A and B are shown apart, each in its own frame.
Chain A
């Protein structure tokens, strides 16, 4: 059974610091990797996606992928209180398959 593992947290980070969120996955054949942000009572919102090994940066967010280690991470620089949310890691079998396997999410709290 395909699994995506995340530390459930809560993870507390001071405002302005770097928040580091981690995710491991079991299916070595996974091709697409996603980070979603979910505020309490709301639906998940896509933040980043990454397909290739290495880093991908978008504003304050950096996704890192290491397929050999089956590891995905999300870095949030200059953390803001509005970043407080649950972050979901999701994995897909291939580029054309929207069937996402999600982790349970990491609850992040930014402390002012």
Chain B
């Protein structure tokens, strides 16, 4: 069975640019969450989506946005990139009604 898949795996962007990260959840999982993990820190919650509706948002600026599609895949968009946005971006999926989240391999974003 395929796990959570994220694309791309690595990305280098310039300050001020925009980036779109993609996530496909485990088959049957309807909830997708996004996390940012800066080197040496634990993941920080950005967004949760369930059935295409935003269910939660972490303490991130409006430059961060996301959406979930009818097939439950999701995109995370970040505008006006800053050097501080350099991090590992993790997508996690879970069954509805369950908190057991399974993570994808992540997208390593470097902003230069």
Contact = CB atoms under 8 A, between A and B. Distances in A.
A88 interface: yes
A99 B58 contact: yes
B99 A43 contact: no
Given A88-B42, A98-B48, A101-B45, A46 B99 contact: no
A32 interface: yes
Interface in B60-112: 88, 90, 92, 94, 96-106
B24 interface: no
A43 B42 contact: no
A46 B102 contact: yes
A100 B31 CA distance: 13
A97 B4 CA distance: 19
Interface stretch (A14-22, A76-84, A102-110): A102-110
Nearest to A4: B42
A97 B92 CA distance: 12
A96 interface: yes
25 contacts: A32-B99, A43-B104, A43-B106, A44-B103, A46-B100, A49-B100, A88-B42, A90-B42, A95-B99, A96-B97, A97-B99, A98-B48, A98-B101, A99-B33, A99-B45, A99-B48, A99-B55, A99-B58, A100-B33, A101-B45, A102-B35, A104-B40, A104-B42, A105-B41, A105-B42
Interface of A: 4, 32, 34, 36, 42-46, 49, 88, 90, 92, 94-105
